[in-house]
Structure 1
Amino acid sequence: MSTLPTFDPQLVPVFQVDAHLAAVPPQHLTPEALQARFANPPAWQPELVRERKFMNRAPAQAAVLVGLVMRDEPTVLLTQRPAHMSTHAGQIAFAGGKCDEGDADAAATALREAHEEVGLDARHVQVLGTLPEYVTGSAFYVTPVVALISPAMTLQLNTHEVSDAFEVPLAFLMNPAHHCWHRHDFEGVTREWLSMSYQDGEKQRFVWGATAGMLRNFYRFLQA
């Protein structure tokens, strides 16, 4: 059962914005630069690795696809979870989910889940590598699988799994001027998390929690 109260994370005050940190330069976000970074990764440490536990459940291995759509200006493929989901309902997330016994590795899980959720065909995807495991407060041990996606891809949403799919510019997410820190107190426990809020036409895309945490680690990886 969850021990976290229902609240609107967008209404929780921001106590810090990381505008003092440098953005990842555009030349580091090209397909060639991303391939080179994963081929010869630097020495680095993830900044965010574990959330405070808020759900008593058995741990589960999972993987998500940090899909980078290689448009003229690269974007990140994200989804919106339906309101009926048992965990993280309504939140913005990467395509992904729990590992199955038949999955060869985390990349296989991420690709399978991306196909099931948004109809992404693996032939349009080039896996670059993985980021360090991220442990959510709901006891998912998540491996982020970073991959390039051809802009020729097409999507077909499984509306039971996702309510929407959209793209946010990679440069926007890799600029800490858009990284906001929130703090929430409940029953003597202080929880802090990161958000990245993007205006997508008439829609406000509020990326927070685990998804924002993994994006922050990706930023640290590219800046190392």
Structure 2
Amino acid sequence: MTIDLNAIKAALDRPGRPSSDFDLNPDTVLPEGRKLRPAGVLAAVVEGKTELELILTTRSSALKHHPGQIAFPGGKQEETDADVTAAALREAHEEIGLPPELVQVLGTLPPHETGTGFLVTPVLAYVGEPFQVLPETGEVAEVFRVPLSHVLNPDNYLTQSRRWRGVMRTYYTVPYGPYYIWGATARMLRAWTDRMT
């Protein structure tokens, strides 16, 4: 399956719906009136040797939330950010050294609610020029790339379960080589995958 920028742009024109960490757990009761903090993550694709590749990070094991997990660069929207797209661009610059001026924003997917109280908007983008990757060591243990065709192929997704806060929770995974991509990152990628078909 070959994926190009036209296919991504076409997918963004198709209808989508918000996702959540609880999509595969319909019995979960979420509190009414909960306040979610806005955040943006950058799903940036770059030219690989033979196809487009997606930039991902492994979070530092020292972080309070999701230590050691695989994630998009990004984070919560600050007061100085114009919107969640600006937050995603700022965080990608801080976390992996990606200059915002090299980023061509293609559009956004519907927001994703996390179990930690964030409403995360995935910002899809293309980076057409090489840049020097500079991981922010306090937050990022590793920056790596995966073939976009792998993480946007529904056949590569599995559902697994584990106990979380005393309750069994089911979630998506999309493993790639040594990388165990799961949780919110896999759920947002799965939402993107659904838009591609």
Q: If the length of structure 2 is used for normalisation, what is the TM-score?
A: 0.87
What is the percentage of aligned positions where both structures have the same residue?
Answer: 39
SS in 1 for 2:137: coil
Q: Which runs of 4+ in 1 moved over 4 A?
A: 185-188
Corresponding position of 1:96: 74
Alpha-carbon shift at residue 64 of structure 1 (Å): 0.4
| Other-structure match for 1:65 | 42
Matched residue SS, 2:176: strand
Cα deviation, residue 185, structure 1: 4.3
SS at match of 1:104: coil
Give secondary structure in 2 for the equivalent of 1:61.
strand
For residue 167 of structure 2, what is the aligned residue in structure 1?
Answer: 189
Contact 1:65 / 1:147 at 8 angstroms: preserved in 2? yes
Runs of 5+ consecutive residues of structure 1 not aligned to the other structure? 1-24
CA distance in structure 2 between the partners assigned to 1:218 and 1:37 by the alignment: 8
Which residue identity does 1:209 align to in structure 2? Answer: G
Q: In the TM superposition, what is the alpha-carbon distance from 1:70 to its structure 2 partner?
A: 2.8
Deviates more, 1:65-74 or 1:131-140: 65-74
CA distance in 1, matches of 2:15, 2:158: 26
Paired position in structure 2 for 1:168: 146
Number of aligned residues? 188
**Structure 1, 153-162 or 94-103: larger mean CA deviation:** 153-162
The answer to whether 1:49 aligns with 2:23 is: no
Corresponding position of 2:92: 114
1:154: which partner in 2?
132
Alpha-carbon offset, residue 35 of structure 1: 3.1
1:49 alignment partner AA = S
* Contact 1:63 1:145 survives alignment (8 Å): yes
Q: For residue 181 of structure 2, what is the amino acid of its counterpart?
A: V
State the Cα distance separating 1:161 from its structure 2 match.
1.4
Match of 1:20 in 2: none
| Displacement after TM superposition at 1:187 (Å) | 7.5
AA of the residue aligned to 1:134 = H
Partner of 1:205: 179
Q: 2:55 maps to which residue?
A: 77
Q: Which amino acid aligns with 1:63?
A: G
RMSD across aligned positions (CA): 2.2
Q: State the SS of the aligned residue for 2:140.
A: coil
Question: For each residue in 1:75-109, what CA deviation from the matched residue of structure 2 results, as whole angstroms up to 9, or x when unmatched?
Answer: 11000111110110110000001101111111110
Rg: which structure is higher? Answer: 1
Deviates more, 1:113-122 or 1:63-72: 63-72
Q: CA deviation at 1:122?
A: 1.3
Distance 1:186 1:172, change over 3 A: closer
Partner Cα distance (2:36, 2:170) in 1 = 22
Indicate the larger mover: 89-98 or 147-156: 147-156
Shift of 1:118: 0.5
Cα distance change, pair 105–187 in 1 and its aligned pair in 2 (3 A): closer
- State TM-score, norm by structure 1: 0.77
Q: 1:159 to 1:186 in 2, by over 3 A?
A: closer
2: CA distance between counterparts of 1:187 and 1:98?
23
The worse-fitting range, judged by mean Cα deviation, of 122-131 and 179-188 is 179-188
